[in-house]
Amino acid sequence: MRYQGTKINPTRYDRSQLKFFIILSVLGVFMVLPIIYIISTAFKPMEELFAYPPRFFVRKPTFDNFRKLFEVVQSSGIPLSRYIFNSIMSSLTMVLTSVVISSMAAYILSKKKFRTKNLLFEINTLALMFVPAAVQIPRYLIIEKLGLIDTFAALVLPLLAMPVNVFLIKQFIDQVPNSLIESAYMDGANDFFVLFKIVMPIIMPALVTVAILAFQTSWNTPDPSSYYINDDAKKTFAFFMSAITTRISGNTVQGQGIASAASLILFIPNIVIYIIMQNKVINTMAYSGIK
Amino acid sequence: MNMVSKLKLRSRKQWLGVLFVFPWIAGFLIFTLYPLVTTIIYSFSTVRFKLEGVSITYENVKNFTDVLFKDPEFKLALPKYLVQIFYFVPMVLVFSILLSLLLNNNLKGRSFFRALFFLPVIIISGPVVENLQTMGAASLQGLGSFPVYRFIHESIPDFIAAPVLYVFDNAIMILWYTGVQTLIFLSAMQKIDRSIYEASMVDGASSWQLFWKIIIPTIKPFIFLNSIYTIVDVSMSTMNPIIIEIKNAMFNIKKGFGFAAAASWIYFFIILLTVLISYFLFGRERK
């Protein structure tokens, strides 16, 4: 290696890095595997979907599954755009409110001193460990009592309560140096300013991670639509996709192909959001503002 | 006069604090804590859903004894789960530390690799994982015929060989669970000032020593954070044997919701126990 001055790592490609490239590439292949699988399954013709032993890659790709899916979509009364609109609205609302609410709470829990602080955080951490499926029925009863059945709020509110968000964000805010916040107070900043202009930019990787996770839960789950919404026009895309695949699953052979096409369509927004956001994660990775 | 204005300022600041936490506390109480408390009541009773509402008859600890002693499925699912926790979680942590060490290098195309290794985040929380697993894509096929694998299987005592083989069998699943953890470790490692490395290298530290004396102590709080995250992630996964069992019990006429609630609470204490173990390993701060 040539002389590097005060640096340890070389700035450009160096032969000594080859081993890292090899390891990372080999492991990287496994990371893209599921995505390739989703794409290739969606284009599989019927006989390949049920081939035994199952094949990973598609041999004779067709658009059959998509054609059948659109036939089913057209025969249902409500236009597809309606479901997609509902999904986008509820997911976006959910992501934004969840990030803001969680970081506000996490900021207070991390940086302020008050009596019930530790107790609150411990209850939150314990709530992490409780089986989400088991609270479904009491949660339904609450939604019913609050009169939220068949409202947009029922799609968002029950999902907002994600203890894992507060947990993750709080751990990151703990690492923000107190002196940074104090110096901001000295300069006359209030808590809103400190949180939104100082703390949140520093913990951006955590916030984006939480945002991606929140989007995932909201976009992929058909549960709120199937539990709390009776009106078909208010249901989400994820529900619609799971409904048409189960409705046809009386005819499982038919349903399998449609399901694979549907899961590809359902998956695309995930990857789009990911590509948009991951850049933010990686570029703003932890600069502390203080040396 | 001075006192009054001071007091005012103080209580105003407190109100701002309350304003910050209020939305979260309200949501948490209504949608998480209250349902949780309700399940405690359910777990001690037989729950029937009728048209006019929910009927609850008090049953003492019958549900709990049913889950622990009578139900054969829970008994089968529990050891499976424990194996998963004690092999899987440490392996996820080790893998994610290794990956973040690799990605912390100043490689060409580093941002591409980082994006690639964060990718499992969107896969593991989606519905595809189950399909992949049933297809056998989550395990390395044909691994059993490798000489190394056979050697470990045949000639090393079982209590050592079992975890090693478990890692081989689940290598890909372990990788898929490392997304968030790798990211967290990576952002922790980025916080280490470069000059600390330089100073210790001048003093003659090897990279092995750098790892154990500088990197590990710095990321230690994050090891604890990640261990909790992984435990929760694995325990709450829809593929988890106990979760499947609890879900089935909810809609089973013989078992019912009371049984499911009791099973959930027992499960909760098991998870709590594993978290406590990891607290004693990584969580305690040195004074």
Å between B91 CA and nearest CA of chain A = 15
Q: What are the pLDDT digits (tens) for A158-183?
A: 888 778 888 888 888 888 888 888 88
Please, which pLDDT band fits residue B235 given cuts at 50, 70 and 90? Answer: confident
Q: Is residue B35 part of a domain?
A: yes
Which B residues 244-263 touch A at CB under 8 Å?
A: 246-247, 250, 257, 260-261
| Stretch among A108-117, A146-155, B6-15, B209-218 having the lowest mean pLDDT | B6-15
Mean pLDDT of A282-288: 49
Q: Residue A62: inside a domain, yes or no?
A: no
The shortest C-alpha distance from B158 to chain A (Å) reads 28
pLDDT tens digits for range B30-88: 888 888 888 888 888 877 776 666 777 777 777 888 778 887 888 888 888 888 888 88
- pLDDT of A251 strictly over 60: no
Residue B220 has pLDDT above 60, yes or no: yes
Q: What is the pLDDT of residues B163-190, one digit of tens each?
A: 777 777 777 788 888 888 888 888 888 7
Instruction: Kindly report the nearest CA distance between residue A286 and chain B, in angstroms.
Output: 6
Instruction: Tell me the C-alpha distance between B241 and B76, whole Å.
Output: 9
Residue B144 and residue A58 in contact, taking contact as beta carbons nearer than 8 Å:
no
**Who among A33, A131, A288 is closest to B264 (CB)?**
A131
Number of domains in chain A: 1
In three-state secondary structure terms, B64 is helix
Instruction: Give domain status of residue B55, yes or no.
Output: no
- B158 Cβ neighbours under 8 A, 6+ residues apart: none
Three-class secondary structure assignment of B21-32: HHHHHHHHHHHH
Average pLDDT, chain A: 79
Contact A131 B33 (CB under 8 A): no
Tell me whether residue A290 is in a domain. Answer: no
List the single best residue of B28, B94, B184, B270 to mutate versus A (max A Cβ within 10 A). B28
pLDDT of B98 higher than 80: yes
* Backbone torsions φ then ψ of B48, nearest 5 degrees: -125, 140
CB neighbourhood size of A125 (10 A): 18
Please answer yes or no on whether A24 and B120 come within 8 Å at the CB atom.
no
- Name the percent of chain B lying above pLDDT 70: 84
Cβ distance B243 to A133 less than 8 Å, yes or no, reads yes
Nearest 10 degrees: Cα torsion B133, B125, A220, B222: 180
Co-location of B132 and B33 in the same domain: no
> How many domains does chain B fold into?
2
Contact B135, A40 (CB under 8 A): no
Contact across the interface for A274 and B119, Cβ inside 8 Å: yes
Q: Does B286 touch chain A (CB under 8 A)?
A: no
Residue A209 to residue B225, Cβ atoms within 8 A: no
Beta-carbon separation of A163 and B268 below 8 A: no
Q: Is residue B31 part of a domain?
A: yes
Q: Least CB-CB distance to A132: which of B113, B222, B236? A: B236
Determine whether the interchain pair B115/A278 forms a contact, defined as Cβ–Cβ distance below 8 Å. yes
Indicate the residue of A141, A164, A281 with minimum beta-carbon distance to B232: A164
Residue span of the structural domain in which B81 resides: 69-283
Cross-chain residue pair B176–A34, CB shorter than 8 Å: yes
Q: Take residue B23 and report the two structure tokens written for it.
A: 């939305």
**A93 Cβ contact list (under 8 Å, min separation 6):** A156
**How many Cβ pairs closer than 8 A exist between chain A and B?**
240
- For residue A12, give every residue at least 6 positions away whose Cβ sits within 8 Å of its Cβ, in sequence order, or none: B108
How far is A86 from A226, CA to CA, in rounded Å? 14
> From CA B277, how far away is CA B239, in angstroms rounded?
24
Distance from CA of B283 to the nearest CA of A (A): 12
Structural domain contains residue B50? no
Rounded Cα–Cα distance for residues B37 and B60 (Å): 16
The verdict on residue A19 lying in a domain is no
Q: Which residue type, as a one-letter code, is found at position B214?
A: I
**Tokens in use for A166?**
């507060």
Give CA–CA dist B279/B266, Å, rounded.
20
Q: Give the nearest partner residue to A130 out of B125, B229, B268, using CB atoms.
A: B268
Residues of chain A neighbouring B222 (CB-CB closer than 8 A): 171
At A282, the pLDDT band (50, 70, 90 cuts) reads low
Chain A CB contacts of B27 under 8 Å are 101, 157, 160-161
Please give the share of chain A, as a percent, with pLDDT higher than 70. 84
Using CB atoms, which residue from B128, B188, B257 is nearest to A34? B128
Check whether residue B83 and residue B214 sit in a common domain: yes
Q: Is the dihedral of CA A63, A68, A74, A79 positive or negative?
A: negative
Of A7, A21, A41, the CB nearest to B107: A21
Smallest Cβ–Cβ distance between B180 and the set A161, A209, A275 belongs to: A209
Q: Which residues of B touch A130 (CB under 8 A)?
A: 36, 264, 268
Is B265 a residue whose pLDDT tops 80?
A: yes
Q: Of A161, A116, A167, which is closest to residue B26 (Cα–Cα)?
A: A161
Q: Average pLDDT over chain B, rounded to whole?
A: 79
ipTM above 0.85, yes or no: no
Residue A103 covered by a domain: yes
Higher pLDDT, B15 or A251: B15
Start-to-end CA span in chain A (Å): 29
Q: Are residues B15 and B97 in the same domain?
A: no
Q: Does the residue A243 lie in any domain? A: yes
Separation of alpha carbons A86 and A236, rounded Å: 5
Residue B183 within a domain: yes
Q: Is residue A18 in some structural domain?
A: no
**Coil vs helix vs strand at B194:** helix
Q: Is residue B206 part of a domain?
A: yes
Does residue B122 share a domain with residue B38?
A: no
Q: Do the domain assignments include residue A273?
A: yes
pLDDT tier at B125 (50, 70, 90 boundaries)? Answer: low
For A282, which of B13, B115, B260 is closest by C-beta distance? B115
Quick check: B39 and A138 CB within 8 A? yes
Q: How far, in Å, CA of B38 to CA of B36, rounded?
A: 5
Tell me if A271 and B122 make a contact (CB, 8 A cut-off). yes
B168 shares a domain with B126 = yes
**Interface with A, mutate which of B14, B24, B233 (most A CBs under 10 A):** B24
B125 has a chain A CB within 8 A of its CB: yes
Asked whether residue A122 is domain-assigned, the answer is: yes
pLDDT at A230 over 50: yes
B195-198 long-range CB contacts below 8 Å, 24 or more apart? Answer: B197/A8, B198/A6, B198/A8
> Quick check: is B20 in a domain?
yes
- Chain A residues in contact with B123 by the CB 8 A cut-off are 34-35
In DSSP notation, chain A reads: ----TT-SS-SS--GGGHHHHHHHHHHHHHHHHHHHHHHHHHT--HHHHT-SS--SS-SS--SHHHHHHHHHHHHSSS-HHHHHHHHHHHHHHHHHHHHHHHHHHHHHHHH---TTHHHHHHHHHHHHTS-GGGGHHHHHHHHHHTT-TTSTHHHHHHHH--HHHHHHHHHHHHTS-HHHHHHHHHTT--HHHIIIIIIHHHTHHHHHHHHHHHHHHHHH--HHHHHH---GGG--HHHHHHHHHHHGGGGHHHHHHHHHHHHHHHHHHHHHHHHHHHHHHHHS----S--
A139 pLDDT higher than 50: yes
- Output A208 or A16, whichever has higher pLDDT: A208
Name which of A108, A127, A132 is nearest B20 (Cβ-Cβ): A108
Domain of residue A83, CATH code? 1.10.3720.10
In this structure, are B15 and B74 located in the same domain? no
pLDDT confidence of residue A285: 47
Confidence label for B1 from pLDDT (cuts 50, 70 and 90): very low
Do the Cβ atoms of B198 and A127 come within 8 Å?
no
Range of the domain at A105: 76-283
Considering the domain boundaries, does residue B10 fall inside one? yes
